[in-house]
Amino acid sequence: MNFFEQQDHAHRESKKLIFLFILAVIAIVITINLSLALLWQWYSAGQPGGGRLPAGFYLMTSVAVLLCIGAGTAFEMFRLRDGGDAVAQMAGGRLVAPDSRDMHERRLLNVVEEMSLAAGIACPNVYLLDEEDAINAFAAGYHQNEAVVAVTRGTLHRLTRDELQGVVAHEFSHILNGDMRMNIQLIGVLFGIQMLALFGRGLIEWGARFGGSRNRDDKGPPIGLVMLAAGVVLFVLGYLGIFFGRLIQSAVSRQREFLADASAVQFTRNPQGIGGALQKIGGLTEETGCGSAIQSQRAEQLSHLFLGAARPNFLSGLFATHPPLEERLQRVYGRQVRFVQAEELNDNEFSDTPAAASGFAAAASAPVSASTSAFPSGGNQDVQWGHHRNAATASGTAFPQAAASATDDMSLLQSACREPQSARALMCALLLDVTQLQAYQLQWQYIQQAAPELATQVKTLQIALANSGNSARLHWIDLAMPALKSCSEQQKASLLQLVAQLTGADGKLSENEFVLQTVLERRLSPNAARAVKVRYADLTMLKAETVLLISLLLSGSASQRAQGFAAASAVLPALRLQPTDLRVFAQPGQLDYQEVRQALVQLNQLAPLAKPLLIRAMLAAAQAQQGLDDQRQQELLRGVCAAIDVPIPDLHSMRDTLQH
């Protein structure tokens, strides 16, 4: 079963399990209704008209129960409103500074940066659980634009670079496959169900205190006793709800862990990465019992987020949030393997040399690793689009004529990505256009007026970008995201306003400027971390917008454009595209990009499973024309992916899919 089949299977299974979760809530409501109805009949049996339920009893009870669950869920979701950062802090995590010089932290940051470059998504914030000696990690957040990756101290100190990369790849799978939002929502709903039990416990305490009080006519059971019984009902049913909720939550988590393990192998092309980490978890468990165990008080609540089981469970088969290590290793290696020891690495064993295996991030490691200075050129399709070759090969061919000064420029640009002020300066430098003197002078006026403190850095970084060939502009944005996201809201707004001024200095918007501005706005605007509401089920509802993007991507002669459009049409048979639908732009540089921007806003409201079909069609069109070697098409595709919140696909797998 290949990656895409596993992904589809996991999505279908998860939907079934979530449906069961809804049924569990309905069962709780029904059971509480029936139980309270019996209590009411018992309480009112000795009164006139006793045994008769008040009008609207079931409706009011159902509303009250749902409100209790909803209020608890809302309260917990409010506490987690900051998404991944809030969850990481809840687990006891410490934010790792993007410019950290600690040897272990630097290696972790490098690996995370590699993965974000290869995936084509914003580099997430990185947290370290300093008090946890186990080998474990998790990804959390509502949206890929505000995701975080957190690892334990034991992960940093016990895993080799290959194994660390496998662990990070596993967590990136949770980001790319949309598991994070569902995981946080499950936390909220379970807390809401727990509110019933907490309310029941309060009634039990109240009933025990006033158990002897009787009703006014001294008939029927004491009110306190009734409250005590009602409290017991709510308490028992609340925890039964938690029981079944955790049962379903665990089943959801196990499905996603199998997919994430498969994705880690797919991304890194190296089963020893995630496999070695799982072997060491098993070995550490046998040796010390530590394994993947998390000591935080929130471990049980957050258990389904982690790479490995955060807490042992006596009903491991039912409540295990993770499949058995033996079964996971069997799937990774295709055979049974032994656990291995997980001793802490000494300084001689510690290395930040990029993995020698071919994989999702191997080639992308070049721009961020301390051991190499190469950066993937804009024309390197394998690096740009997810099918990565051997790291040594990639780094050896990116800039074969690179001199020491180019190495210094790359180091300067890398450093600029890791500090908020210099990251803002780098964004400005990416938009400077020296080919048009008048517009260039106007751009500098805007910088001097809006951000004079950045001017010196902008000039230095502009020179460094020119020396590096101005390649892979979007990669620098991906790398700079943690530093940019740490800016204040006012600084972000000022930067976006300055970017708009810089792109409009010449009175028109070029394709490159449009792509850069679109990516920055999608990732730094106040709505960047919010999930977009789904309004369109499939591409048939957005035919005109789909045609616009495919037409914008195509270039060359009329016959070449027609060939590319035909290839895209074959991927989208439901749209019934005709050759006459192709739009022709005589001068793309003068296109009104406001129309394109509006199209992207609407396409971002597609159902999640419909978005990859659009990218697949655009890839087919590009491949039919240039074989995906054209830098313009690559950057435009990356910009579209960022605008509609779709990670850059694995080009190798996408090619296989297109061929079939």
Mean pLDDT of 377-396: 31
Average per-residue pLDDT in the chain?
A: 77
User: Tell me: the pLDDT tens digits for 115-172?
Assistant: 887 776 788 999 999 999 999 999 888 777 788 999 999 999 999 999 999 999 998 8
pLDDT higher at 100 or 638: 100
Mean pLDDT of 23-36: 83
Q: What are phi and psi of 129, to 5 degrees?
A: -90, 90
Q: Give the per-residue SS3 of 426-447.
A: HHHHHHCCCCCHHHHHHHHHHH
Q: What pLDDT does residue 349 have? A: 63
User: Tell me: the pLDDT tens digits for 415-437?
Assistant: 899 899 999 999 999 999 888 88
Q: What pLDDT does residue 405 have? A: 56
By mean pLDDT, which of 168-172, 297-301, 383-387 is the weakest?
Answer: 383-387
Q: How confident is the model at residue 218 (pLDDT cuts 50, 70, 90)?
A: low
**188 vs 83: CA distance, rounded Å:** 12
Residues contacting residue 601 through CB under 8 Å, at least 6 positions apart = none
User: Tell me: the pLDDT tens digits for 11-29?
Assistant: 566 666 677 777 878 888 8
Instruction: Give how far Cα 622 sits from Cα of 145, 564, 587, 618, 651, Å.
Output: 27, 6, 19, 6, 12
pLDDT higher at 491 or 249: 491
Q: What pLDDT does residue 365 have? A: 44
**293 vs 340: CA distance, rounded Å:** 17
User: Residue 515 belongs to what H/E stretch?
Assistant: helix 511-524
Q: Which of 163, 171, 419, 513 is catalytic?
A: 171
Exposed/middle/buried for residue 1 (C-beta within 10 Å: 0-12, 13-18, 19+): exposed
By mean pLDDT, which of 280-294, 347-361, 468-482 is the weakest?
Answer: 347-361
Q: What pLDDT does residue 1 have? A: 38
User: Tell me: the pLDDT tens digits for 434-482?
Assistant: 888 888 999 999 999 999 999 999 999 999 888 876 556 778 888 898 8
Q: What pLDDT does residue 649 have? A: 60
Check if 5 is active-site: no
- Least Cα distance to 429 among 384, 394, 463, 474 occurs for 463
Q: How confident is the model at residue 228 (pLDDT cuts 50, 70, 90)?
A: confident
Positive or negative, the CA dihedral 36, 37, 38, 41 is positive
Residues contacting residue 95 through CB under 8 Å, at least 6 positions apart = 85, 88, 125, 126, 127
